[in-house]
């Protein structure tokens, strides 16, 4: 029996490497995720300087004319330094509700034809305990945008109502300590978003670029970006820096609260799945083929 399992495991590894799809990255991410302490000793001033430097490096990928938080993931390099994300294919953003005519022109110029909206749909028959922000209303784009929308809501109104007492008491601790990692709604949304990235990336000339957003482009969008960057082989430092950029663009600081959120996400993943690899494979139900196809479509050798 043990011999059979070993043979089966070797067959899976061989099949993955045999795809010829940047298979060398598989070993990089299929490891136990360590407790993240990269920023544990940083002061607020130190973090401000660190993220300001990262923002300067990423300036060419920033599109404030669309929203204050729209940026291309292109150019982010893998941990081994051999690959980077292809530019003009994958964007993260705040919602487009208040986009200006100049922003509309920029979206069309960049050929952003598809948008994954991670917000939930609110309507007159939906019973919720909190009044949503204006930007939380789904699908309210300005005239002139030629975008196909995909709604993959991370939060469900029924689940939200059922868990409201604990959500109200724990706030972001609950969202990052449970919702993003264990909620069936959230896990399905992240799975479906990755699969949409794969479908869109297979023919970017025809399909155009893909954007994903929530309200501010910070938490739900930040988690999806962290998952995507992990799959593509980015380092923890890169994932953290990109996660914190939202606070830089909106507030210039502070960063400590955002660090506690992403730390809580990773710690909860470790606690419930053992490591990030298991979360991606079994929590999000992404296959080896899905993972390697995403890399093949969105990474290029430097």
Tens digit of pLDDT per residue, the chain (302 long)? 454 445 444 444 433 343 333 443 333 433 333 344 456 566 777 788 889 999 999 999 999 999 999 999 999 999 999 999 999 999 999 988 888 999 999 999 999 999 999 987 654 444 333 444 444 444 445 567 888 889 899 987 676 666 666 666 666 666 777 778 888 999 999 999 999 999 999 998 889 999 999 989 999 999 999 999 999 999 999 999 999 999 889 877 667 778 888 998 999 999 999 999 999 999 999 999 999 999 999 999 99
SS3 assignment, position 72: strand
Query: How far is residue 225's CA from residue 232's CA, in Å, rounded to a whole number?
Result: 10
Tokens for 14, please give them.
């061989």
Cα 222 to chain centroid distance, Å, stands at 5
CATH architecture designation of domain 28-301 = Alpha-Beta Complex (3.90)
Task: Report the SS3 class of residue 149.
Answer: strand
**Strands 90-93, 71-72: parallel, antiparallel or unpaired by DSSP?**
antiparallel
Q: Are 294 and 232 in contact (CB under 8 A)?
A: yes
Q: Which of 151, 152, 146 is nearest to 207 (CA)?
A: 146
CA atoms of 190 and 164, how far apart (whole Å): 22
Residue 83 half-sphere exposure, CB side, CA atoms within 13 Å?
A: 21
Distance CA 60, CA 81 (A): 20
Report the chain's terminal Cα–Cα distance, integer Å.
44
Beta strands in the chain (DSSP E): 71-72, 83-85, 90-93, 112-117, 148-151, 209-213, 299-301
């Amino acid at each position: 029996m043990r011999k059979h399992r070993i043979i089966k495991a070797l067959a899976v590894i061989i099949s993955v490497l045999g795809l010829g799809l940047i298979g060398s990255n598989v070993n990089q991410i299929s490891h136990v995720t360590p407790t993240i302490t990269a920023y544990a000793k940083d002061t607020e001033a130190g973090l401000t300087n660190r993220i300001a430097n990262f923002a300067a490096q990423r300036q060419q990928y920033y599109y404030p004319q669309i929203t204050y938080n729209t940026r291309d993931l292109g150019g982010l390099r893998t941990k081994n330094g051999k690959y980077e994300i292809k530019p003009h294919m994958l964007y993260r953003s705040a919602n487009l509700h208040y986009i200006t005519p100049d922003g509309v022109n920029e979206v069309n110029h960049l050929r952003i034809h598809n948008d994954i909206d991670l917000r939930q749909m609110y309507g007159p028959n939906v019973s919720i305990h909190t009044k949503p922000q204006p930007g939380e209303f789904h699908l309210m784009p300005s005239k002139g945008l030629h975008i196909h929308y995909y709604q993959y809501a991370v939060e469900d109104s029924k689940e939200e109502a059922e868990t409201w007492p604990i959500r109200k008491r724990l706030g972001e601790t609950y969202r990052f300590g449970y919702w993003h990692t264990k909620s069936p709604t959230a896990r399905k949304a992240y799975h479906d978003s990755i699969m949409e990235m794969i479908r869109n990336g297979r023919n970017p000339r025809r399909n155009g670029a893909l954007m994903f957003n929530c309200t501010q482009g910070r938490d739900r969008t930040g988690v999806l970006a962290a998952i995507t960057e992990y799959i593509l082989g980015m380092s923890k430092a890169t994932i953290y820096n990109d996660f914190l950029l939202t606070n830089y663009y909106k507030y210039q600081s502070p960063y400590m609260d955002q660090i506690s959120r992403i730390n809580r996400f990773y710690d909860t993943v470790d606690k419930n799945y053992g490591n990030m690899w298991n979360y991606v494979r079994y929590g999000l139900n992404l296959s080896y083929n899905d993972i390697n196809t995403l890399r093949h479509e969105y990474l290029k050798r430097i």
